[in-house]
Amino acid sequence: MSGMIETIERLSKTQEGRTNVPVEVLYYRIERLKENFVAAGDEKNAKKAAQLLEKLYKKEFTVAFCGHFSAGKSSMINTLMGSQVLPSSPIPTSANVVSIKTGKKSARIFLKNSEPVDFGSDYDVSQLKKYAVDGDEVETIELYHPSNLLGETISIMDTPGIDSTDDAHKVSTESSLHLSDAVLYVMDYNHVQSEVNFRFTKTLKDRGVPVYLVINQIDKHVDFELSFAKYRESVIDAFRHWDIEPDGIYFTSLKDVNHPENEWPALLGKLGELFKEKETLIIPSIMRAAMYLIDEHRKFLHDKHALQREPFERLLEQKTTEENVQEKYALLSGRLASLFEPAEKLESEGKQEVQNILDNAPLIPFSTRELARLFLESRQPGFKVGFLFSGNKTKEEKAKRLHDLYAELSENASAHLEWHIKGLLRTLSEKYGYDDSEYQKRVMEFTVPFSEELLENEVKPGALTGGEAILNYSKDIANAVKNLYRRAALDMLEDAAQAMRRQAETQAESIRQELAAIRELKEAEDELAALGRREAEAEAHLIDMIVNGVPGEEQARPLPAYEQQAAEQVAAPASSTKGIEAKKPVSLMTVKEQSTSSAGYSSAIKKDYKSHRLETAEMLRRSAQSVHDVPGLAGIARAMEQRAERLEKNRFTVALFGAFSAGKSSFANALMGDLILPVSPNPTTAAINKILPPDEQNPHASVRVRLKNHTDITSDVVYSLKVFGIQVDTIEQAIEKTSMLDAGDVHPTAKPHYSFLRAVQKGYREIEAQLGQEIIIGLKEFQEFVAQEHKACFVEWIELYYDCPLTQQGIILVDTPGADSINARHTGVAFEYIKNADAVLFVTYYNHAFSHADREFLIQLGRVKDTFAMDKMFFIVNAADLAHSQEELDGVVDHVVQNLATCGIVRPRIYPVSSQTALLARMGERGKLSDSAAGILRKRLGVGEGEALPPVDEALRFSGLQHFEDEFISFTLEELTQIALNEAFAEVRRAVQTMDDFIVAARQDASLRDRKLREAEQHQEKALKAIRELDATADIQAVEKEIQELVYYVKQRVMLRFSEAFRYSFNPSALQNDGRNIQKALQLGLEELSRFLAFDLAQELRATALRTEKFMAGVGAKLIEKLEARMQIEHFELRAWEPSVYDTPDFADQFPQGTTGELQSALSLFKNPKQFFEQGGQEKMKEALEEKYQVPVQAYVSEGERILREYYLSQFEKEIARVRERACAEVEEHFAGLLAALGMKMDVESLVVRKQQVTKMLSVTMETVNVKEK
């Protein structure tokens, strides 16, 4: 209920500016609300929304009478109406809602499973009684009766008693209260202070419904027991104790109308006021009712997920002790992290301190500089000493001056470097607990010898003896000595750190085993804690629709006037309920859905790129066949075969991202030209939907579904429960725990997790036996697996094989987990698609602000955008047809561009489109539009009823999709295909060039061939030796250094976002004194903050991984160049560096254990919402937490650096080994062919013919693929 309170408070705050919404606009919004309910399978609330639409259309004001079955409700209504309209009795007289309206006396009984039953004006009340008590078959009862009190659009609703033992009574009562504009809660004098009354009235007040308490039958009061004043006071106090402030309290008696305390006349007066003000009350009342339906819809989603929580809850119930798993896990993780901290700190602090010593060491004081001057002077041309025997004297003087400078510089180095570094090494080892006698011995013996030669080597040719020259020389020799000391000191530090790490590793292993033993429990708790977030987003979307509006509402037409039938014509009162029907979603399909290929639609694809690739592949195979048995060309032939195979299988992966309701599915359908993907109502669905070209095993319109295995779905639910602080071991426990979650205590960000767990709970039993399987289904079942959340939540991926122009060219469209997916695994999946896809499309809605999830995803795109060789990102602004003018459209696009810039994405390729218009146009081209859909297309295109629709190309241009597709096809098919073809052509040219070299070699005269043969043998040995002796140490160190530098800035960037993360986690909607557990809300906020920061760190490190890969590729390419330079083989090039496709390392979704223990104390800075949000408490807590998070953030970054370093250095070393092996093979093969040619062991004429054949095939293919049109 806390969620309902929140929405009502939000509505109240905006009510002044929102409740003057025009009737037709509110009608439009509720229509959309109903459509959302229908899409989610929530038939109950969809029906209620339809009832609200009817109420709004009729502008019918309703007062509901609720309360005890024996409190006199029916009697009170009969008194109001002036005659017996309802049967009355001290026992329940109705199990159904009865609506009473003014008109000619008549009745209609609406049955659940058959046609309504009508009664004319001569019916007797007793005839209604059997229907009134039949709650199984009867849905509602409508009565029409003449009345002086009720107006034409006013009705009274009688409800079954809420304290009835029949639960159906309560359901029936609550099922109609959304239609009431005010509630009179009628209680028996003797049964006021019952929990049923308090809970029910509090529920109504929390929903924002005006509630008037009526304490009836006060004639039962006797003064000698208690004064009426005391009784009245006790009633008021009792409701106040429950925090219930009714809109009025009336004490009444229908039996003793003259009772001195009887307020029946006042109650009548209040009803009269309400009836007079109905025009101003009805709009806010309907908006409030819509909010209630949204809250009920959230409960519907919650119920769907009951099974999902069960396994986590069961897992946690299996805990053998009451120990706090989270604390133990954090403690162990902290101990694990701290084991390696001394080594890291010793090394990092040592490096800094060594540098400080070097920077501050005065190696060249004045005296030394003077000796340097004398030394330089002795090296000047013409320097000599004396006149007689000057040669020997000069030589002796030169040696003396060199030695004097050397001796003093050595002494200075010893005093200012050696002593200080020794002290530093000794101090650091003591400070960080490295007690190793051998190391201490090495420290004491630490010295860095250097010779006089160093001083001579630093003399620059032509050096003078002026002041500036002396200063430069002094600086050079000082730096040379410092470099020697730096290298020696850092070697000592590294040795010590490595030894410390080895010592720590032994202890770390036992801790890791303990962590592994409790990790499942911890993850189960965390998964349960995460459940509710998904619901919050769905609820917020619907609330935003009602409060702030929906696209297209400005075009809503005024509702036609409702004309109630005259009283004398009320022969069939129920007909009035059909005054207007809720607008149905327009079907864009013809009655008979066909499963034919959509390949015939108008496409932006003008060339048959696939045939180009296939023809080039055929040319490669034929060329390979021509040369495969030529000595020295077998490797090239194999390479051509491999490239041919890649071209034949060449697929272009296009990853489609976007926020929920951005029109992602609609956009994909427009690209395919048909209604294939259902518009899923589930923002939580996290399956990967792939649309692929059909093949022999998978015909057109067939679908493969891979269901998550038991481990993965368990991991997902455990993760979601963790968000709620609930730990479980099994999915059965999780489902059980899900049932126990209180939606009112769910942090807003946890609602999606809550929704997800409810979906699992609902669908688990049905799908349990199929977990881990791959099933083949048709299009109809496919739509269920996408659109029905209790099925979608179990799907790992779906492959739809569909024939259309896109897939015919080898394009695979991947509809990825949404930006707002709740599962941490899916963040990694999304990143892999960003990294490896040939193109990335992000779809946003025309007037849709980026959600938090959208922004996080786009920030990640911004981080990695510059690591790609080509800009492969396309941004779509969908539903652009909502724009009223070009100026407005330009403004929206500019706004999106600005928002993208805040995410680090500048100069984006952005395309405003109307995917619906494009889809309609393509379906219309193939005759698949219904009349209503054609009408929509006409309206979109501004074409009159009698006019012909424009050509599809014109409609596509109008929709904006044509412009997008032109550029998209140019990039994906044209540019990428051209790159692939150029690489293939280069492979063939390589073969032609090699054959040409062999032919030239073979046709030389014998003596030249003999000489070249010997030289070739020598060149081969030299080249192989160069490869074997290749020292890549510096290259590996360069990669390591790059990782260190990249990671260094991660922490700073993440902490720059701390304020944003804090505001997101501790927001007013989550921290209100509305009955929820505020301490639990604070705890959930802290956990959300940790998740935010850990998520951001993980995203930063993923981006760092991609930058590292790019750097490695650059280093690898230079390594190849270095090899070629050393080998110096004429007319020979090694194959380019081709790095493997690396799997991005996994990064945790939480901080290392033991690093977050200090965070909890900061929560004590929260006193109450007012102090927190209005009196500076928020800033104080933020500052405290920002300081405390330094430790876990640094621990996370350090661990991330270790993961990156270990993974990528290992991969890089393997790559280098592969390059060595491949280079040796290429060299050996090349020389085998060359030696065969020089040794006349090759059929030269045959080789000439083969060369001519391959050259011709290359020429013909290049010409064909450049000109052939589809």
The answer to the question of residue 493 being in a domain is: yes
d(CA 774, CA 754): 27
Do 347 and 268 lie in a common domain? Answer: no
Task: Give pLDDT tens digits for 1059-1090.
Answer: 989 988 887 766 765 555 777 788 888 988 99
Q: Is the pLDDT of residue 586 over 80?
A: no
Domain count, the chain: 3
The answer to the question of residue 959 being in a domain is: no
Two tokens at 857? 């995803």
CB 142 within 8 Å of CB 96: no
Which structural domain, as residue segments, surrounds residue 185? 2-304
Q: Which residues of 1018-1048 are buried (b: 16+ CB within 10 A; e: fewer)?
A: ebbeebbebbeebebeebbebbbebbeebbe
Do 285 and 342 lie in a common domain? Answer: no
Do 247 and 309 lie in a common domain? Answer: no
The answer to the question of residue 372 being in a domain is: yes
Coil, helix or strand for 650?
Answer: coil
Mean of per-residue pLDDT scores for the chain: 81
Q: Is 0.95 surpassed by the pTM of this model? A: no
Least confident of 81-85, 153-157, 393-397, 893-897: 81-85
Least confident of 401-405, 784-788, 1161-1165: 784-788
Q: Tell me, what's the pLDDT at 53?
A: 92
Nearest partner of 363 among 455, 446, 463, judged by Cα: 455
Task: Give pLDDT tens digits for 280-322.
Answer: 898 899 999 998 899 888 877 766 665 666 677 667 656 656 5
Between the alpha carbon of residue 1247 and those of residues 271, 420, 994, 995, the distances in Å are 107, 72, 11, 7
The answer to the question of residue 592 being in a domain is: no
In this structure, what CATH number is given to the domain that contains residue 227? 3.40.50.300
Higher pLDDT, 1237 or 884: 1237
Nearest partner of 332 among 1151, 1096, 1087, 1188, judged by Cα: 1151
Do 370 and 262 lie in a common domain? Answer: no
Q: Is the pLDDT of residue 378 over 80?
A: yes
Percentage, residues of the chain above pLDDT 70: 84
Q: Is the pLDDT of residue 359 over 50?
A: yes
Do 368 and 487 lie in a common domain? Answer: yes
CB 29 within 8 Å of CB 226: no
Q: Is the pLDDT of residue 114 over 70?
A: yes
The answer to the question of residue 991 being in a domain is: no
Least confident of 645-654, 710-719, 1073-1082, 1208-1217: 1073-1082
Two tokens at 699? 């015909």
Task: Give pLDDT tens digits for 324-334.
Answer: 778 888 888 88
The answer to the question of residue 870 being in a domain is: no
Boundary (domain end) residue, out of 304, 320, 339: 304
Q: How many CB atoms lie within 10 A of CB 996?
A: 15
Do 135 and 62 lie in a common domain? Answer: yes
Q: Tell me, what's the pLDDT at 569?
A: 32
The alpha carbon torsion through 673, 675, 681, 682 (nearest 10 deg) reads -60
d(CA 860, CA 1096): 9
Do 409 and 353 lie in a common domain? Answer: yes
Q: What pairing do the DSSP bridges indicate for beta strands 795-801 and 211-216? A: unpaired
Place of tokens 């690898």: 1116
Which range scores top for mean pLDDT: 721-735, 927-941, 1069-1083?
A: 721-735
Q: Is the pLDDT of residue 68 over 80?
A: no
The answer to the question of residue 575 being in a domain is: no
Q: What is the number of residues in the chain? A: 1270
Nearest partner of 1149 among 664, 746, 807, 821, judged by Cα: 821
Do 289 and 319 lie in a common domain? Answer: no
Percentage, residues of the chain above pLDDT 90: 18
Higher pLDDT, 2 or 503: 503
Q: Tell me, what's the pLDDT at 350?
A: 92
Boundary (domain end) residue, out of 745, 771, 797: 771
d(CA 864, CA 1023): 39
Between the alpha carbon of residue 1080 and those of residues 309, 488, 1076, the distances in Å are 19, 55, 8
Task: Give pLDDT tens digits for 816-870.
Answer: 765 555 555 566 677 888 888 888 999 887 756 566 677 888 888 888 888 887 7
Task: Give pLDDT tens digits for 763-775.
Answer: 899 888 999 999 9
Work out the average pLDDT over 1029-1035. Answer: 87
Task: Give pLDDT tens digits for 1090-1133.
Answer: 989 999 999 999 999 999 998 998 998 888 888 888 887 877 78
Amino acid at 427: T
Do 287 and 326 lie in a common domain? Answer: no
Transcribe 1086-1123 into DSSP letters: HHHHHHHHHHHHHHHHHHHHHHHHHHHHHHHHHHHHHH
Q: Which residues of 667-698 are buried (b: 16+ CB within 10 A; e: fewer)?
A: bbbbbbbbbbbbbbbbbbbbbbbbbbbbeeeb
The answer to the question of residue 884 being in a domain is: no
Coil, helix or strand for 702?
Answer: strand
1065: region left, alpha or beta (phi > 0 left; psi from -120 to 50 alpha)? alpha
Place of tokens 């802290």: 1086
Nearest partner of 968 among 1100, 839, 1070, 1150, judged by Cα: 839
CB 551 within 8 Å of CB 879: yes
d(CA 625, CA 608): 26
Which range scores top for mean pLDDT: 535-549, 1001-1015, 1177-1191?
A: 1177-1191
Is 268 exposed, middle or buried (CB count within 10 Å of its CB: 0-12, 13-18, 19+)? middle
Task: Give pLDDT tens digits for 135-190.
Answer: 567 777 888 888 777 766 788 888 877 754 343 345 444 567 889 999 999 988 87
Do 296 and 395 lie in a common domain? Answer: no
Transcribe 927-982 into DSSP letters: T---HHHHHHHHHHHT--TTSPPPPHHHHHHHHTHHHHHHHHHIIIIIIHHHHHHH
Positive or negative, the CA dihedral 661, 664, 665, 666 is positive
Do 259 and 377 lie in a common domain? Answer: no
Boundary (domain end) residue, out of 281, 304, 327: 304
Do 300 and 324 lie in a common domain? Answer: no
